A and B are shown apart, each in its own frame.
Chain A
Amino acid sequence: MLRYLGTPLALAAVLLVLYLWVSGLALDSIEQRTLNWEYIHTRVLEHLRLTAVATLLVVIIAIPVGILLSRPGARWLSPVVLGLANLGQATPAIGLLALLTIQFGIGFTIALVGLIAYAVLPVLRNTIIGIQQVDPALIEAARGMGMTRGQVLRRVEIKLAVPVILAGLRTALVMAVGVATLATFVNAGGLGDIIVNGIKLQRTPVLVTGGVLTAVIAFFVDWLGSVTENALRPRGI
């Protein structure tokens, strides 16, 4: 259990150092408008909400699609879908947001669409790969025991693919935390508000606070991912 505590302790220490440093500074009125509890609290919550909802939707979209694409009958489809997912990730997220905005306006939903387009690839790809890498001998054995195709999928293939799928999900989560900083450009808030303010007005404490908070959240969700991964990994592998 002890090995799980390292990351949260380190993150808490980082936050403490940040807090002590900022509270020791004499802030001007521009910095005070950003570096206060209410402002930071709201931005962190917005950021977490964006990341969480985007990741949830990515799971709902990418895992079933990935499973579907791994079925023998649908394999021909996978280059098309993976191509689309690649496109989503290769397109600069900020450009995609601007395009979506010109077409559909601004807000939380638009930021969400941009985030999902960006984060879908690692989960989709890892789901397909995770299922494809299951030893065919095991599937044959399961079939030999009289399991139906559906049972094999549920009890053998998906279970054995879980670690790979979760690894993809962790990657997606960390990326989503980073890309959610762009939500500021479409009125969806988040820590990007603080970061962009710090950059544009050259206020280092503001920029550092926004950056460090984003990084801490990224490390934290990655840590959550690793804990979940260990809990969900089927025993014996």
Chain B
Amino acid sequence: MHTPTRRTILAGIAAITAVTALAGCGGGTSASASEQGSLGQELKDAKFIVGSKDFSESIILGQITMEMLRAHGAEVVDKTNIKGSTNTRTALTSSQIDMYWEYTGTGWVTYLKQTKPLADPEQQYAAVAKDDLAQNKVFWGTRAPLNNTYAFAIRKEKAAELGVTKLSDLAGLVKSKPAEATFCIESEFSTRDDGWPGVAAAYGLDVPKDNVKSVDTGLIYTETKKGSTCNFGEVFATDGRIASLGLTVLEDDEHFFPVYNAALTMRQETNAKYPQVETIMAPVAQKLTDQVMQSLNAKVDADGLEPRTVAHDWLAEQGLIKK
């Protein structure tokens, strides 16, 4: 079986990062960037390459990190917006980037190859942090309360019409009005244990196969808003589009979905050399709740602001950096 060599993978990442770096240059230096060392010089002479995945939340978290590190005297290089979780993770483990925000659920299922998530957020975090450090030498910083887990969203008015507010209402709907029980999901969601097979079993949803449509992640939001292909869309709980498209999220009353708390990940050696990074970022992580993240995401996705500006303004508003 021919698999791509390490060199081709690295070349791919180099190409991706080069493109992102160029894209970053286009924006020029933002006037809103915080001053280097404005809060101290703990990280003087340190240089960090900060990465992120390719969606707004991840980029905002990357920008928040860069603002904080810069304010503490570090030099930072922006390598945010890397295509796909796997590429971002490979960029970290192959030292193309020094840190990025990852989710506990993703670490558990995708990188540690586990199939059964843990229900308790703290336990899930502890398990991921322990195993990832032991197996892959990846350190997980303080866990943010924001939980970017899976959820099902529906148009507000349709939810009222059908009388559904929580996932356990769906079993009844499937029986009484099967034609209304239509779902849009991503293809990966259809095979994950913590995806469709699990949620259907946990809530006793016996949905006809044709009622479950597999579409691209971004299209789920527009299709759910239109409501012609599907009434229920599989969405991410902290996505800013939920509010801006007038959707509402059904409560996961059986607590089926795993927890996707965000945490800053870095290689073990980076944490050992610069433990200050964790000290600086911990108070920031603790302030990042679902509501905070939804509103920050909406500023980028709905209002069209730059992630860097959104990150800076929020940190300043919270008094975490000087204006």
Contact = CB atoms under 8 A, between A and B. Distances in A.
A94 B167 CA distance: 32
Interface stretch (A57-65, A101-109, A163-171, A225-233): A101-109
A18 interface: yes
Contacts, number: 79
B219 interface: yes
A185 B188 contact: no
Contact of B3 (A34, A192, A197, A204): A204
B188 A201 contact: yes
Nearest to B216: A185
A34 B219 CA distance: 23
A29 B213 contact: no
A201 B110 contact: yes
A193 B219 contact: no
A96 B115 CA distance: 35
B214 A187 contact: yes
A201 B192 contact: yes
Contacts of A212: 1
B194 to A, nearest CB: 10
A186 B191 CA distance: 17
B12 interface: no
A17 interface: yes
Nearest to A203: B113
Contact of B191 (A18, A101, A187, A197): A197
A212 B1 CA distance: 9
B39 to A, nearest CB: 38
Contacts of B214: 184, 187, 189, 193
A30 B219 contact: no
B36 to A, nearest CB: 37
B172 interface: no
B95 interface: no
B86 interface: yes
B115 A29 contact: yes
A152 interface: no
B3 A187 contact: no
A84 interface: no
A33 interface: yes
Interface residues of A, number: 29
* Secondary structure call for the A interface: helix
A18 B1 contact: yes
Interface in B185-226: 186-188, 190-193, 197, 213-216, 218-219, 222-223, 226
A220 B15 CA distance: 32
B151 to A, nearest CB: 18
A196 interface: yes
Given A98-B219, A185-B215, A193 B228 contact: no
Given A29-B115, A202-B86, A202-B110, A106 B219 contact: yes
Contact of A186 (B1, B192, B215): B215
A196 B192 contact: no
Contacts of B1: 17-18, 21, 208, 212
Contacts of B115: 28-30
B64 to A, nearest CB: 25
A159 to B, nearest CB: 42
A200 interface: yes
Contacts of A208: 1, 3
- Pick the most buried of A101, A102, A193: most chain B CB atoms within 10 A of its CB: A101
Contacts of B226: 105
A105 B84 CA distance: 25
Contacts of A193: 187, 190, 214
Interface in A181-217: 184-187, 189, 192-193, 196-197, 199-202, 204, 208, 212
A185 B217 CA distance: 8
B109 interface: yes
Interface string A27-44: 011100110000000000
Contacts of B223: 101, 105-106
B219 A186 contact: yes
Given A18-B1, A202-B86, A197 B188 contact: yes
B185 to A, nearest CB: 10
A191 B168 CA distance: 33
A17 B191 CA distance: 25
A29 B193 contact: yes
- Pick the most buried of B1, B115, B213: most chain A CB atoms within 10 A of its CB: B1
B155 to A, nearest CB: 16
Interface of B: 1, 3, 84-86, 109-111, 113, 115, 184, 186-188, 190-193, 197, 213-216, 218-219, 222-223, 226, 228-229
14 contacts: A33-B190, A34-B191, A98-B218, A102-B222, A105-B226, A186-B219, A187-B214, A193-B214, A197-B191, A200-B84, A200-B85, A201-B192, A202-B110, A202-B111
Interface of A: 17-18, 21, 28-30, 33-34, 98, 101-102, 105-106, 184-187, 189, 192-193, 196-197, 199-202, 204, 208, 212
